[in-house]
A and B are shown apart, each in its own frame.
Chain A
Amino acid sequence: MTDLSRRKLIKGGVAAATGLAGLGVAADLAKNYGLIPPDHAGIWGVGETLNYASYRLLTNHSMAREFTRSEISEKPLANEMPPLSDEFKKLQARGFADWRLTVDGMVDRPQTFSLEELKSHPSRSQITQLACEEGWSYVSEWTGVPLSHVLEVAGIQPQAKYVVYFSIDPDWWDSIDMSDALHPQTYLAYGMNGGDLPVGNGGPLRMRVPRQLGYKSVKFINRLAVTDDLRNFGKGLGSASPEGGYAWFAGV
């Protein structure tokens, strides 16, 4: 063995060992700082983790782009959706007077809100873009109560890490981390463009997460659960999306 190849071998060995140790440390740090998404396992885990970790490191306090009134799309597209259940139709027939939002899990004061009660809390509006993972988009004005306010009323406990939200459609539920849940643009939206939120757009109550794609803004919300462990919900992947093959993190 020549000197040159021996030196190369030693160099390569040191580089490989450093790399492996570095990866181990990085994984540990990532876990401690909440940079690992619930769907990190499996063949797409690397890309999904890099996406979510970059989002967490880059955009904790960033605001989704807001638009002017003149930029509001003429027709907010109501995307295709599964047929509404009889339960939903019954609630709709009574003008959603009996619609309830339940807040439970790691909160000091579990409770339920009617739409009227939600509307009596401070309302906020944002003119933001709803962009679908398919490629289309529209801009509209969303009115609602900030999720952070509802969580404050219910009193989130310090160990809470995620807010899980459920649609009346049992096939749809999702979750966001505390950073997104407490973000000032994350709303429980009940209004659109000055009127009630139409059923086609998720009325009477829709989660609005404008820094992520449309599928994160789940329609027909009737329950919030605050938790520190997403493994307790569904298949433990954080939302219905990964169970259907889609990424939990929808910021890209």
Chain B
Amino acid sequence: MAETQSLPKLRVPGPAPYSGSTAQPLRHSALVRATHWITTLSCIALLVSGIEIVISHPRFYWGENGNVLTPVLFKLPIPSSRSLVPTGYGFVLADQNGWSRYLHFQSAWLAVLTGLVYVTAGFVSGHFRKSLLPRAEDLSWQALGRTIASHLRFEPPGAADLWSYNLLQRITYLVVIFVLFPLAIWTGLAMSPAFTSAFPASVTLLGGRQSARTIHFFVAVSLLLFLLVHVGMVWFVGFASRMRAMITGRIEKPMVDA
């Protein structure tokens, strides 16, 4: 695309610090890459198993209690795997909750433990401060407006975006890491009668078990939306280069050492 060449080069930060003299600089550290892909794997497992579980009761409520005898907040227009649930469909899907629940919790453990490693390392190494916290000069409504406008115009990214995240990316990643994931974990635990016996405030603060379940659903929908937009953006800006950066850590194709 010719336009790409004529875009003004605003700011090209230097290569990330690295050790070793002959190697190319790394775009993503080994820890970020490993935790990224483990999280990807567990999130896909959580989504698939979560959808299977919700099929057994595609109705949502607010407050402490809800069942087929009580009014709904809303229901999903899908068939169910339980004959007791009135769906309007003339058939009942097969029950998949056994393995789905096993898989959901096993993936949740993997995601939470990986998340702990990532967040601890992110604070210790300064990854959050350097790479995710918006730069001081970007913290203005004008800067935010400019980024949103350039995204809405589907402008191809500048060279700076190859080496660092733009403002919108930083805000989105921070929300996903520090709002959506913690909320998903909290609302998930608030549905466990064993957990709430030890920590009753975890569910009462949310307004009850059914409220926790409903929030859990919306957090999951938000994470799914993030996943779709994230993958869409990677596709748009250059699937091969971004995948290479997240798999090998390098921006360029590997050079053959003489």
Contacts and interface: CB of A to CB of B under 8 A. Distances in A.
Interface of A: 4, 44, 46-48, 50-51, 55, 58-59, 62-65, 67, 71, 73-75, 77, 79-80, 129, 131-139, 210-213, 241, 244-247, 251-252
Contacts, number: 123
A136 B57 contact: yes
Nearest to B58: A135
Contacts of A51: 105
Nearest to A140: B65
Contacts of B101: 133, 246-247
B192 A79 contact: no
Contacts of B210: 137
Given A58-B194, A77-B67, A80-B84, 12 more contacts: A47-B102, A47-B106, A51-B105, A55-B194, A59-B194, A64-B196, A65-B203, A71-B64, A133-B56, A136-B59, A247-B102, A251-B195
A178 B98 CA distance: 25
B194 A80 contact: no
B82 A80 contact: yes
B197 A59 contact: yes
Q: Which 5 pairs, one residue from A and one from B, show the smallest C-beta to C-beta distance? A: A251-B194, A47-B106, A245-B98, A44-B102, A136-B67
A92 B209 CA distance: 35
Given A65-B197, A134-B97, A135-B56, A77 B106 contact: no
Given A47-B106, A136-B67, A252-B105, A211 B193 contact: yes
Contacts of A136: 57, 59, 66-68
B2 interface: no
Nearest to B103: A44
Contacts of B59: 135-136
B193 A73 contact: no
Contacts of A246: 97-98, 101
Contact of A75 (B64, B69, B108): B69
**Which secondary structure dominates chain B's binding surface?**
helix
Contacts of B82: 80, 134
A131 B64 CA distance: 10
Contacts of A65: 196-197, 200, 203-204
Interface of B: 19-20, 53-54, 56-57, 59, 64-70, 82-84, 97-99, 101-103, 105-109, 191-198, 200, 203-204, 209-210, 213
Nearest to B20: A4
Contacts of A63: 197
22 contacts: A46-B106, A55-B194, A58-B194, A58-B195, A58-B198, A62-B194, A63-B197, A65-B203, A73-B65, A74-B69, A75-B70, A129-B64, A129-B193, A131-B191, A135-B54, A135-B213, A136-B66, A137-B66, A137-B67, A138-B65, A210-B193, A252-B192
B57 A47 contact: no
Contacts of A48: 102, 105-106
A147 B191 CA distance: 25
Given A71-B64, A135-B56, A245-B99, A212 B196 contact: no
Contact of B194 (A71, A211, A241): A211
Contacts of A77: 67-69
A173 B108 CA distance: 28
B98 A129 contact: no
